[in-house]
Amino acid sequence: MKKQFLFLVILFLFCFSGFAQTGFLGKRVHFQFESKFTPAWSNLNSNHKQGVFRFNYNLMPSIEFALTDKWSLAVNYLYSPSAFKITKLDDDGNYYSYFGEGYFMENGNRYKGYSEGDMTIHGSGLSALYYFSGIAPAGYYAKLGVDAFFYHISVPYMGYDTLVSIESGYSFYDKEFIYQDISGIYTAQDWAIGLRFEVGRNFFIGRYVSVGASFSLGILCKGWGKLIYNSNPKFIDEATKRLFTSYIGGISIKIGVLPF
């Protein structure tokens, strides 16, 4: 992911290196470091806490290139540690005579013991910005961007029920859960695409240093059916829900430099 992002940045700068000098104070390349905060009112943050004054955070370094005095393009890399809740299912009365509570997984096992997991998110994005006051990259702007996320989860468990086939007295095979007293850590990974709209402002302190703030709204273009209703949720589905809720909205603070 880091090599791909570096290649994208080099290609991005190369493609536009022939443009005539434009932008704020005749400079075009704007390096920024952004931290985006999203509320953890009903979800967990990276410390497995939630509440009105709890937040998740994303770290997003980026490079912005001014195409004209009003338009610019930006590429960014994203890193975010987080945690997510796991829905516990009560399977009493199910056709296969499942016993007790557990968590369904894609391999047919029902894991026991914990209701929280950890996730690490990496990603990259491409955005177009329009400055409706000032000269790019200074002033008020509106941004539309596409983000790609790759996330990895880890969930500890104390044991699991595994679904096995048994031969009944009627000469046909039935299934039931057999408990395995084996602890471990379940891991999985997935990806998602998001569309984001942002409004904000960059202030410049002198000729080189910038500070900024913005508000963003986003929509995750994956997993709608499972997010609304999922009769057989998996750990990775619960992590996707967490990513979905954190991507809906957020407030960012930024600091940057405009060297050339």
pLDDT at 235 over 80: yes
| Cα separation, 207 vs 196, whole angstroms | 30
Which of 78, 79, 108, 102 is CA-nearest to residue 90? 102
165 occurs within a structural domain: no
Which residues are within 8 A (CB) of 209 and not within 5 positions of it... i.e. 6 or more apart? 255, 256, 257, 258
pLDDT at 181 over 60: yes
Which range scores top for mean pLDDT: 5-14, 18-27, 223-232? Answer: 223-232
Residue 100 pLDDT: 47
pLDDT digits (tens, 9 = 90+) for 91-101: 443 434 444 45
- Answer for the pair 109, 176: CB distance below 8 angstroms, yes or no: no
Residue 17 pLDDT: 46
137 occurs within a structural domain: yes
pLDDT at 5 over 70: no
131 occurs within a structural domain: yes
Residues listed for the chain: 260
| Listed range (35-44, 55-64, 136-145, 199-208) with the worst mean pLDDT | 35-44
The percentage of residues in the chain with a pLDDT greater than 70, rounded to a whole number, is 76
Which residue segment(s) compose the domain that 51 sits in? 2-15+29-87+113-156+185-257
- Tell me, letter by letter, the H, E, C secondary structure of the chain: CHHHHHHHHHHHHHHCCCCCCCCHHHCCEEEEEEEEEEECCCCCCCCCCCCCCCEEEEEEEEEEEECCCCEEEEEEEEEEEEEEECCCEECCCCCCCCCCEEEECCCCCEEECCCEEEEEEEEEEEEEEEECCCCCCCEEEEEEEEEEEEEEEEEEECEEEEEEEEECCCCCEEEEEEEECCCEEEEEEEEEEEEEEEEEEEEEECCCEEEEEEEEEEEECCCHHHHHCCCCCCHHHHHHHHHHHHHCEEEEEEEEECCC
196 or 230: which leads in pLDDT = 196
146 occurs within a structural domain: yes
Residue 234 pLDDT: 81
pLDDT digits (tens, 9 = 90+) for 114-159: 788 999 999 999 999 999 988 889 999 999 999 999 999 999 988 8
Q: In what order do the strands lie in the sheet with 101-104?
A: 89-90, 101-104, 110-112, 159-167, 173-180
pLDDT confidence tier of residue 18, bands split at 50, 70 and 90: very low
CATH code for the domain in which residue 54 is found: 2.40.160.20
pLDDT at 53 over 50: yes
- What is the number of domains present in the chain? 1
Residue 167 pLDDT: 65
- The whole-chain average pLDDT of the chain stands at 82
173 occurs within a structural domain: no
32 or 43: which leads in pLDDT = 32
230 occurs within a structural domain: yes
Q: In the predicted model, what is the mean pLDDT of residues 181-189? A: 91
99 occurs within a structural domain: no
225 or 181: which leads in pLDDT = 181
Residue 231 pLDDT: 65
168 occurs within a structural domain: no
